[in-house]
């Protein structure tokens, strides 16, 4: 009798434990469905892309360089560069515009102005940015945007490639005054090498953006130039010279190799000066990507370079005392958390500096998303206007300098 009572009690406890276990599993399933949406199938993505390029008025097609048909066997190797797209609000109307580059002589670049109604219009020809791919001047490979002349408008450096002269373009934004961009590249900028990667930033905290450009194509044996090897058949019968199969093997020779990096200081109306050797930049690697970042939180921009098949470089910047700076880390709430697309205008007296938080800038590169402004000796930041991607405009006045400010997007 006692044995029967004990067996019944044990069975009831086991049943109760089993019921509780099943209930716990059911509760987890219900909560998971509520968190992801009860109507969603497991693992189903909650977004979808639709290509609207044509409907939006964007019909750009990239064209590679045209080569002699007898070079077809190597054409894919030497003509696979130049398709790039960059974003900039060129007219400061709050709508992002698009700039596409072409790589064939005679074919225009395109600047698609955002109309704000879901459509774009190509204004590159009127804006002076279309016809830059001319014989003897190289063809476009990419672009870097930034305010070079402290007028609160983004200018553009179009970096180019060609076998003898590259013809990089620096176009200043005079849309409000002239309705177009004006060429300002000459001397050290126009002939700054292959210019795979380029970034602008205030390297001395002087209040103007400077340029750091990395160069080089193929660096092999220093005493064997492929240009020289190719020149030995240049005077031959054209049928021989124009047939790539007759060209000598490149082997370990160099082709536009051992090109030094350029550090171009912005001297305002006095132009640009290449000070690379003076500031300790003497590398001759085949540079590709470059980023600017305050690596050690000291209020100066350091430089990191990725080189093709060669060691990376980290240039720690040492700035002479006397100049001031201010930096911003933006945190989005209504906008994306990283604040990508936010524009910050810094006003000091009559001078305006503009920077944008971007998700990538230049060839295979992404800068520090904290925005760094040099202030020169003034030590003032009179007014800061932040235009968030959500459309919110935030104004801050008389901020302390020589420090990083973390700014959170206001609720409204």
* The pLDDT value given to residue 354: 96
Which residues are CB-neighbours of 83 under 8 A, at least 6 positions away? Answer: 62, 101, 103
Residue 36 has pLDDT above 50, yes or no: no
* The pLDDT value given to residue 202: 95
The lowest-confidence range among 35-39, 111-115, 334-338 is 35-39
Between residues 98 and 37, which one has the greater pLDDT?
98
Choose from 12-16, 251-255, 307-311, 340-344 the range with maximum mean pLDDT: 340-344
Encode pLDDT of 201-225 as tens digits: 999 999 999 999 898 777 777 777 6
Mean pLDDT score, 9-34: 54
203 in Cβ contact with 210 (< 8 Å): yes
Measure Cα distances from 178 to 87, 95, 121, 172 in Å: 22, 21, 19, 11
DSSP codes of every residue in 66-101: P--GGGTTTHHHHS----EEEEE-TT-SSS-EEEEE
210 in Cβ contact with 261 (< 8 Å): no
Residue 62 has pLDDT above 90, yes or no: no
* The pLDDT value given to residue 4: 44
What share of residues in the chain are helix, strand, coil (percent, to 5)? 15, 30, 55
Between residues 401 and 26, which one has the greater pLDDT?
401
DSSP-derived 3-state class of residue 248? coil
Residue 37 has pLDDT above 60, yes or no: no
Residue 228 has pLDDT above 60, yes or no: no
* The pLDDT value given to residue 95: 87
Residue 16 has pLDDT above 60, yes or no: no
8 in Cβ contact with 1 (< 8 Å): no
Encode pLDDT of 328-345 as tens digits: 999 999 999 999 999 999
Choose from 68-72, 235-239, 356-360 the range with maximum mean pLDDT: 356-360
Please calculate the CA angle 148-185-158 and round it to the nearest 5 degrees: 75
* The pLDDT value given to residue 109: 94
DSSP-derived 3-state class of residue 265? strand
Element at 28 (helix H, strand E): helix 2-36
* The pLDDT value given to residue 6: 41
* The pLDDT value given to residue 26: 57
DSSP-derived 3-state class of residue 344? strand
Give the pLDDT band (50/70/90) at residue 166: low
Residue 348 has pLDDT above 80, yes or no: yes
* The pLDDT value given to residue 311: 82
Between residues 90 and 287, which one has the greater pLDDT?
90
Mean pLDDT score, 171-184: 87
Measure Cα distances from 129 to 108, 157, 159, 208 in Å: 8, 11, 13, 23
* The pLDDT value given to residue 164: 45
* The pLDDT value given to residue 363: 80
The per-residue pLDDT of the chain, averaged, comes to 81
Encode pLDDT of 363-406 as tens digits: 878 788 999 999 999 889 999 999 999 999 999 999 999 999 99
Listed in order, strand segments (DSSP E) in 187-234 are: 197-201, 210-214
Which residue intervals of 136-263 are DSSP H helices?
175-178, 226-231, 238-241
Q: Burial, 176: exposed, middle or buried (Cβ in 10 Å; 0-12, 13-18, 19+)?
A: exposed
Mean pLDDT score, 110-128: 94
DSSP for residue 310:
S
Give the pLDDT band (50/70/90) at residue 84: confident
How far apart are the C-alpha atoms of 264 and 273, rounded to whole Å? 5
pTM score, whole prediction: 0.73
């Amino acid at each position: 009798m006692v044995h029967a009572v004990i067996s019944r009690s044990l069975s009831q406890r086991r049943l109760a434990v089993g019921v509780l276990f099943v209930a716990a599993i059911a509760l987890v399933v219900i909560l998971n469905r509520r968190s992801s949406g009860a109507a969603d199938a497991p693992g189903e993505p909650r977004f979808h892309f639709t290509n609207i390029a044509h409907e939006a008025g964007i019909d750009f097609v990239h064209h590679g360089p045209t080569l002699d048909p007898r070079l077809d066997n190597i054409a894919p190797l030497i003509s696979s560069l130049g398709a790039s797209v960059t974003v900039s609000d060129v007219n400061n109307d709050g709508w992002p515009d698009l700039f596409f580059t072409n790589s064939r002589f005679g074919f225009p670049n395109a600047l698609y102005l955002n109309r704000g109604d879901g459509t774009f219009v190509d204004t590159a020809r009127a804006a002076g940015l279309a016809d830059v791919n001319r014989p003897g001047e190289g063809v476009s490979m990419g672009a870097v945007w930034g305010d070079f002349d402290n007028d609160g408008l983004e200018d553009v450096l179009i970096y180019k490639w060609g076998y003898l002269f590259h013809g990089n373009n620096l176009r200043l934004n005079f849309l409000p005054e002239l309705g177009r961009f004006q060429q300002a590249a000459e001397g050290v900028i126009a002939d700054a090498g292959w210019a795979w990667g380029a970034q602008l930033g205030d390297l001395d905290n002087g209040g103007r953006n400077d340029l750091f450009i990395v160069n080089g194509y193929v660096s092999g044996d220093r005493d064997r130039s492929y240009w020289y090897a190719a020149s030995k058949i240049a005077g031959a019968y054209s049928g021989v010279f124009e047939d790539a199969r007759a060209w000598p093997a490149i082997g370990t020779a160099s082709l536009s190799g051992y090109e030094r990096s350029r550090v171009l200081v912005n001297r305002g109306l006095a132009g640009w000066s290449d000070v690379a050797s003076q500031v300790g930049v003497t590398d001759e690697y085949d540079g590709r990507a470059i980023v600017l970042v305050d690596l050690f939180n000291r209020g100066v921009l350091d430089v990191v370079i990725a080189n093709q098949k060669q060691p990376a470089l980290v240039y720690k910047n040492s700035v002479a005392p006397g100049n001031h700076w201010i930096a911003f880390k933006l945190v989005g709430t209504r906008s994306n958390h990283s604040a990508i697309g936010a524009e910050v205008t810094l006003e000091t007296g009559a001078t305006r500096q503009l920077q944008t938080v971007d998700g990538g800038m230049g060839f295979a590169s992404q800068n520090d998303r904290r925005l760094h402004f040099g202030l020169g000796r003034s030590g003032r930041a009179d007014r800061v206007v932040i235009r968030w991607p959500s459309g919110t405009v935030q104004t801050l006045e008389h901020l302390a300098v020589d420090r990083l400010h973390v700014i959170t997007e206001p609720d409204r």
